[in-house]
Amino acid sequence: MAKGLVVFLCFVLLVSMTAATQFKVGGTGQWNVPESGAKSYNQWAQATRFKVGDTIVFIYPANNDSVLLVDSNSYNSCDTSSPTDRFSDGNTVFTLTRSGPFYFISGNQDNCKKDEKLHVVVLGNHNNTGSAPSPSPSPPAEAPSASSPPPPPSSDGNIAPASSTPPPPNAASLPVISLMGMLGLVFVPFLNLV
């Protein structure tokens, strides 16, 4: 009985750590023409990290507005004539199903021209499957291969180590390490009972 409860609690913990996040567009959820001097939807999106599976909530008067999913050309020109998808229910919850850019504009072209538009970039998966790699600002340093010659001797004749500091941990691995530590804390007391 206790083992089953522990396994269930660990499962709940794991699911909660990997659960998707629901974002309200602009921070409030209100989809309308931004007021003068207010932060634009894109400023909000640039400060937000989106991942595959997250959702964005758009709240608007269904009889006066809508949300259009469009390509980059339609986004830039506020072209409402051929959206990829159209939502007009007044409470749209859109799931980000892949990495890469998503473009949203108001179904009211005048509103779009007044900056009621949103460009979201969804981060790729940790293993980058199914998405193109993002360009890096500088070329990566080459890692020494197994057939690389040893480093040259130092001035005292000893071979200098290739690097005196270990590489920094992968930021993506930190939640996994944390999870493993928590699981260890939970399971260790029960191992003595078995």
Cα separation, 9 vs 23, whole angstroms: 26
Residue pair 23/94 in contact by the 8 Å Cβ criterion:
no
In CATH, which of 2.60.40.420, 1.10.760.10, 1.10.20.10, 3.40.50.1000 is domain 18-123?
A: 2.60.40.420
Listed by start position, the domains of the chain span 18-123
- Average pLDDT over every residue of 59-70: 96
- Is this structure's pTM higher than 0.75? no
Residue pair 42/118 in contact by the 8 Å Cβ criterion:
yes
- Residue 144 to residues 157, 159, 162: CA-CA distances in angstroms? 22, 16, 9
Question: Which range has the top average pLDDT, 5-19, 49-63, 142-156?
Answer: 49-63
Predicted confidence (pLDDT) at residue 58 exceeds the cutoff of 50? yes
Residue-wise pLDDT tens digits, 152-186: 554 444 444 444 444 344 334 334 444 455 555 55
Pairing of the two strands 22-24 and 55-59: parallel
